[in-house]
Amino acid sequence: MTEIRPFEKKIWLSSPTMHGEEQQFVQEAFDTNWVSTVGKNIDCLEEAVAGYTGMKYGVALASGTAALHLCVKLAARRLYPDALPGNALAGKKVFCSDMTFAASVNPVVYESGTPVFIDSEPDTWNMDPDSLKKAFDLYPETRLVILVHLYGVPAKMDEIMEICRQHDALLIEDAAEALGASYQGKTVSGKCGSFGDYVAISFNGNKIVTGSSGGMFLTNDKADADRVRKWSTQSRETAPWYQHEELGYNYRMSNIVAGVARGNMLHIDEHLARKRQIYERYRDGLMGLPVSMNPSEMKAAPNDWLSCLLIDPAAMCRQVRDDKEPLYLPEPGKSCPTEILEVLARYNAEGRPIWKPMHMQPIYRNCPYVSAAGDCGEDIFHRGLCLPSDNKMTPEAQAVIIELIKKCFA
């Protein structure tokens, strides 16, 4: 084979893919001077995303994190009506997906709650129903669960929702990474973003549909939608002056950001198709290597937001990581995430380690962690990595990336 040269243009993990309508909607906002947190782009985006996920109401917010915070506040309000804002979860535990981005969990702490981390399972890498059951055995007073569909792969919704029902617990669905994914279960079916009592999605720059930033709260309950809209705009009461009866936040989405997201949302099917092709090309191209791709269940249709790789245990060279740095010992026929990521970076392609489980994070190390079958998330973090999954990556560029990965195992 000819010598492989670094990519002239960086291959990103997942960067925004713009089409033209985004700019038109932003221009329209300028032309009509709706350069604020109200306007047609916001209304149209809310309608489009709610309609797409099969929910009645969407409230566009500044970020997925803001959406999650307001989900937590709504749940706390229902479970513990006397609690004070900022302390709505004081003394309470919340069961949270362990292998996720910190934004899923931080809102629990914004409200003074204690996250209890629930280990992953190997079939979808999401919250393990057995570990969740064990957590309810250990902490039966807990009434709130925050569940993530990691990398756009739907979690085991039938099992998780049944466990929540048995324990009379509310479910916050963090579908930040999962817009476009769906699940056809025995008891629940539909699009990710339609299962939780409270739902958050994200339009941050690396997501499958982006507004450059932004998020959305989704619900079927008009009163909850109205509450979130009010809280997100500083909880203003209807009065001629600024009148406040409860704590508010400046969490509303801007009409400019909404213009980008509204335009980008028009192309969701195209983005999903490209992500699927990327996943399939990796799956086929890496066949024969001692690796597997991030899995999903038969009843799930992931959105393939990020294609990930898991190295077989026997094909792992020695790799250690402290809190900031990795080290590995190269070995013929074996590799590790650190080596592959270094090689990709050398050739100007961006991969990323698997999201480090929350129970391993210094900030959350002292929180309870429940694992029924033995640290599945830690193992995936050790052996796995996210591959360059950018929509704009050509098949030729991807073939080079596949070749580079093969060389790591030579």
Ligand X SMILES: Cc1ncc(COP(=O)(O)O)c(C=O)c1O
Residues that bind ligand X (CB under 6 A): 63-65, 100-101, 103-104, 148, 174, 176-177, 202, 204, 215
Query: What is the sign of the dihedral through the CA atoms of 390, 393, 397 and 403?
Result: positive
Between CA 207 and CA 16 the distance in angstroms is: 8
Between CA 282 and CA 151 the distance in angstroms is: 16
- To ligand X, the closest distance from the beta carbon of 60 in angstroms equals 12
Q: Which of 154/328 has CB closer to ligand X?
A: 154
Q: Which of 208/349 has CB closer to ligand X?
A: 208
Angle among Cα 347, 213, 386 to the nearest 5 degrees reads 35
Q: Which of 83/132 has CB closer to ligand X?
A: 132
Query: What is the sign of the dihedral through the CA atoms of 206, 407, 384 and 329?
Result: negative
* Cα-based distances in Å from 376 to 121, 125, 305, 326: 6, 8, 21, 20
- Chain centre distance of CA 307: 14
Q: Among all residues, whose Cβ is closest to ligand X?
A: 64
Between CA 178 and CA 151 the distance in angstroms is: 7
Q: Which of 254/398 has CB closer to ligand X?
A: 254
- To ligand X, the closest distance from the beta carbon of 181 in angstroms equals 12
- Nearest alpha carbon to residue 343 among 401, 266, 264, 256: 401
Strands 318-321 and 326-329: antiparallel
H helical segments located in 250-388: 255-265, 268-285, 337-346, 376-383
- To ligand X, the closest distance from the beta carbon of 334 in angstroms equals 31
Between CA 206 and CA 17 the distance in angstroms is: 9
Bridge partner residues of 338 (DSSP): none
Q: Which of 178/311 has CB closer to ligand X?
A: 178
Q: Which of 210/398 has CB closer to ligand X?
A: 210
Between CA 34 and CA 148 the distance in angstroms is: 34
- 8-state DSSP, 349: B
Q: Which of 103/349 has CB closer to ligand X?
A: 103
- To ligand X, the closest distance from the beta carbon of 217 in angstroms equals 12
- To ligand X, the closest distance from the beta carbon of 306 in angstroms equals 10
Between CA 37 and CA 62 the distance in angstroms is: 10
- To ligand X, the closest distance from the beta carbon of 89 in angstroms equals 18
193 and 179 Cβ atoms separated by less than 8 Å = yes
Q: Which of 99/132 has CB closer to ligand X?
A: 99
Q: Which of 17/348 has CB closer to ligand X?
A: 17
Angle among Cα 13, 19, 21 to the nearest 5 degrees reads 135
Q: Which of 208/286 has CB closer to ligand X?
A: 208
- To ligand X, the closest distance from the beta carbon of 201 in angstroms equals 8
Residue 407 phi/psi, 5-degree rounding, is: -60, -30
- To ligand X, the closest distance from the beta carbon of 133 in angstroms equals 23
Q: Is 153 exposed, middle or buried (0-12, 13-18, 19+ CB in 10 A)?
A: buried
Q: Which of 41/204 has CB closer to ligand X?
A: 204
**400 CB neighbour count, 10 Å cutoff:** 18
- To ligand X, the closest distance from the beta carbon of 355 in angstroms equals 8
Between CA 113 and CA 80 the distance in angstroms is: 12
- To ligand X, the closest distance from the beta carbon of 174 in angstroms equals 5
- To ligand X, the closest distance from the beta carbon of 280 in angstroms equals 23
